[in-house]
Chains A and B, each alone.
Chain A
Amino acid sequence: MTTTDIRASSATLDRSAVNKPRNMGQIMRWLLLFLGGILMVMPIAYMISTSLKWPHEVYNINLIPDEPTIENYTYVLEDGRFYWWFVNSIIIATITTISNLLFDSLVGYTLCKFRFPGRMIVFIAILSTLMIPTEMLVIPWYLMSQSLGWLDSYWGIMFPGLMTAFGTFLMKQFFESVPDDFIEAARIDGLNELQIWWTVAMPLVKPALAALAIFVFLGNWTAFLWPLIVTNSVEMYTIPVGLSGFGDEADVAWELIMTGAAISTIPTLVVFLIFQRFIIRGVVMAGLKG
């Protein structure tokens, strides 16, 4: 054995001895993650599996359908109602998301970067609304919608969520990380406050905007209680409300519900794929020292 071989073999021994406990810990961690992953994936797998089953097979626990079919997809897609619900959900979730991105960040920016009397009171008042459960708010919302003639309309479905306390809080916290020097430099360069917010501050909080976009879109896409209350006509239903209608007192058409749910995950995946890269990229404060 040459000197190099001896060194190499002793290095291998040392490494295996040192790494053993770490490997065990790592195996345990992977196992936990694997189990977590299974827990996450199973509902999705069953959703897709059920959407490919015939009605008589729905209550069968097996993951792979005996006789896979795309009949459910054909039925759902050919059913005009689903098309309407899909469009409604897209319109509502998109407008609400854009509205939140604009107004939450505008208010968050104002609360963060401007000093004015009552600033903290306004902020605390906004935050305190986070403590009020939706269930408590639906009656006032309903009465408000009724008096304004917004029942069974897009406006009625959207108005409670066009701005959120959570979004405002999130954006305010992120704007804290934007150094005042950027704002002041832009002010000296001749931009007005609205231009500074849009041109300088907003690009610097893209990760927060992306996160907020995902939260708001998903929240509105899956919203059930308020759209159920405020809508009357089938044409105004959103997907969750519409899908719940696939069941009645006699039977629940799980295969159709799952098919609709499977189709409705597509836009959420698209939104996530678009915005996740901004989150992963993170905040790059390269314009500052360092």
Chain B
Amino acid sequence: MANLSLRALTKAYAQTEVLHGINLDVEDGEFIVFVGPSGCGKSTTLRMIAGLEEVTSGEVVIGDRVVNHLEPKERDIAMVFQNYAIYPHMSVKKNIAFGLRSSKMSKQDKETRIDEVAGILDMTHLLDRKPAQLSGGQRQRVAIGRAMVRDPAVFLFDEPLSNLDAQLRTQMRLEIKKLHQRVGNTIIFVTHDQVEAMTMADRIVIMKDGHIQQVGTPSEVYHSPANAFVAQFIGAPSMNMLPGRLNGAGVRLESGLQVVTTHVSATNQDVLLGVRPDDLTLDQSGQMLVTGQVTVREPLGAETLIYVATESGEVIAKADGRSPPDVGTHVRLSADPANVHLFDADNGAALA
């Protein structure tokens, strides 16, 4: 196990820079999730940590070693790929043992280690099977087993759950989290699914266009987003953004409504007023934020998402699952001022 640091890490392909100075310190044993939309640079960062991509500038430090110029095998890392990458011509046992090929362990110790890993992953009965005879979840476990068997300092997961169906993904998410609690190795996990990020991470690294947007615990990034992008990326459905202007007393929305906010006294500044669908209520008592007509309902069981056409654009709110307003109904949505976020309309930065 080891700390991991990325120092002013950049990556360029020819003249195009895709990562622009990534700085990050990962504590020993931490579960870090890189999340962001496609093309944000999260997988590239992971591959640079693995040694599969060359570092253009900056440093990758694992433990107390700068590993920029070390081969992947010398970095004491193991990686689980999106496509599993378990060898179809080898049995499960051989696949797991493959990670120990270059190890100096005795044959007996290798056998013991393989059995131990197979036991942890509940695969002992599958050891003689070929990958073709396994389900998607079992294959993913083999891939994890092959990574685990070497007991690396850092585990790297490159979107390992994205090929699984929803149910299996939830199950594997839990298994990986339990596994982390059990083995305690540092894990860097890449995903584009913010639910995975929120449920698994000790800290989330949110990336966009080759920049880190925010690093924080799931609670921090959800409740105190650093900017409008993070606010909208984390949480499903996305945070509603209503354009407005600060006027000293609060925010005057484009619809003409005056909204009192708990922060910011600046005036004459264009802002985006952000409020999560969970924080919008249909009751008449709260501070009115928007009014509009329900255009679509999405029943989710316990609750129903309602899409409301307002003068400030479409707003999503959560209504009670048993008695949601009908489509076409005129609704009044209100929010607690404490749950309203303000962002600079120009650069998206959160306003204190």
Q: Using a CB–CB distance below 8 Å, which chain A residues touch chain B?
A: 179, 181-182, 184-191, 200, 203-204, 284-290
Contact = CB atoms under 8 A, between A and B. Distances in A.
Contacts of B132: 284, 286
Interface string B36-79: 00000000000000111000000000000000000111000111
Contact of A184 (B52, B139, B146, B163): B52
B87 interface: yes
B88 A286 contact: yes
B50 A190 contact: no
Of A184, A188, A203, most B-chain CB atoms within 10 Å: A188
A188 B136 contact: no
B78 A287 contact: no
B102 to A, nearest CB: 3
27 contacts: A179-B85, A181-B82, A181-B83, A184-B50, A185-B146, A187-B71, A187-B72, A188-B51, A188-B79, A189-B101, A189-B102, A189-B146, A190-B73, A190-B101, A191-B73, A204-B87, A204-B89, A284-B89, A285-B88, A286-B88, A286-B131, A287-B84, A287-B88, A287-B95, A288-B84, A289-B82, A290-B136
Of A191, A285, A289, most B-chain CB atoms within 10 Å: A289
Given A185-B79, A188-B50, A190-B73, A287 B102 contact: no
B222 interface: no
Interface of B: 50-52, 71-73, 77-79, 81-89, 95, 98-99, 101-102, 130-132, 136, 139, 146, 150, 163
Contacts, number: 79
Contacts of A189: 73, 98-99, 101-102, 146, 150
A222 B87 CA distance: 37
A189 B71 CA distance: 11
Nearest to B132: A286
B85 A187 contact: no
A188 B78 contact: yes
Contact of A288 (B71, B73, B83): B83
Nearest to A203: B89
Nearest to B133: A286
B77 A188 contact: yes
A287 B73 contact: no
Contact of B85 (A191, A203, A287): A287
Contacts of B101: 189-191
Given A189-B146, A190-B101, A182 B85 contact: yes
A289 B88 contact: no
A190 B102 CA distance: 6
The 4 closest A-B pairs by CB, nearest first: A190-B102, A286-B132, A190-B73, A287-B88
A132 to B, nearest CB: 36
Nearest to A287: B88
A36 B3 CA distance: 70
B280 to A, nearest CB: 39
Contacts of B86: 287
Nearest to B77: A188
A281 to B, nearest CB: 11
A91 to B, nearest CB: 31
Contacts of B82: 181, 289
Given A182-B87, A184-B50, A188-B50, 8 more contacts: A189-B98, A284-B89, A285-B88, A286-B130, A287-B85, A289-B83, A289-B139, A290-B163
A185 B131 contact: no
A287 B50 contact: no
Nearest to A288: B83
B163 A204 contact: no
Nearest to A202: B89
B102 A184 contact: no
A289 B146 contact: no
A290 B50 CA distance: 25
Contacts of B87: 182, 200, 203-204, 287
Contacts of B77: 188
Nearest to B86: A287
Contacts of B78: 188
Contact of B52 (A187, A191, A200, A286): A187
A288 B71 CA distance: 25
A190 B70 CA distance: 12
A290 B136 CA distance: 7
Contacts of A288: 83-85, 88
Contacts of A182: 85, 87
A179 B83 contact: yes
Nearest to A182: B85
Contacts of A181: 81-85
